[in-house]
Amino acid sequence: MKLTRRNFLAAAGAGLTGSVLTGCPDEDPRPSPPEHPNILFILIDDMGNRVAGMGDPYSQTPNMDELIRTGVTFNNQFVQTASCGPARTALFTGMYPDTTHAWHNLVDFRDIVPDAITLPGQFGLNGYQTVPIWKVFHLGRHDDEALSWTRPSWRPEGSFPRYYNPGTSGRPPTEVGAVPSEIYHDAQVTQRAI
């Protein structure tokens, strides 16, 4: 909250009244809420809602289901262009493709609107720490820029995608190999976020 004369006087008057009427010390024994609540933004554009908590009868996703149950979930999504780059550009800038010229994946919105404030940039301007983990913008193009992030990005090591089942060559988009789960990028990203 911005400190203004009015806010100061209101707070001082409330504190004085409370102390006089109740005889309580000036400090409230209850913990104060954090100045900024923690926000975890999980972006899943190509996978859709392939989790049990969003209605997929085949998925077994107990941790995501718990997060859905206790957090805020957006179930009614629309995109102006059904392609990764333009969809992410529209989401993070709040601008239509006609404004950013991001009608396909080869367009960099910073070429058209170089000073656009992105969603993470707006959070950063308001005191939040913003940290990209793995791919946030299309191809990770702006995942290290100071206009959007207060900390540098983190990516798992190695190439993507990496498959471990013999004979897997790019399909299916998911697999469960006979390897520890930590070898997969998704598990590394999850651990880093935690």
pLDDT at residue 17 is higher than 60: no
Output 105 or 194, whichever has higher pLDDT.
105
pLDDT at residue 12 is higher than 50: no
Beta bridge partners of 133: 154
CA-to-CA dists, residue 26 to 19, 23, 50, 126, angstroms: 6, 9, 52, 29
**143 and 154 Cβ atoms separated by less than 8 Å:** no
Whether a cis peptide bond, with omega within 30° of 0, leads into 161 is yes
Does residue 135 lie in a domain region?
yes
Supply the range of the domain harboring residue 91: 52-193
Output 13 or 150, whichever has higher pLDDT.
150
- Number of compact structural domains in the chain: 1
Output 96 or 29, whichever has higher pLDDT.
96
User: pLDDT band at residue 5, thresholds of 50, 70 and 90?
Assistant: very low
Does residue 38 lie in a domain region?
no
C-alpha 157 chain-centroid distance: 21
- Which is catalytic among the residues 84, 101, 104, 185? 84
Active site residue 24: no
Active site residue 84: yes
Q: What region, left, alpha or beta, does residue 95 occupy, with left being phi > 0 and alpha being psi -120 to 50 degrees? A: beta
Does residue 33 lie in a domain region?
no
Q: What average pLDDT does range 16-29 have in this prediction? A: 43
- Which is catalytic among the residues 36, 104, 138, 185? 138
The pLDDT assigned to 164 comes to 65
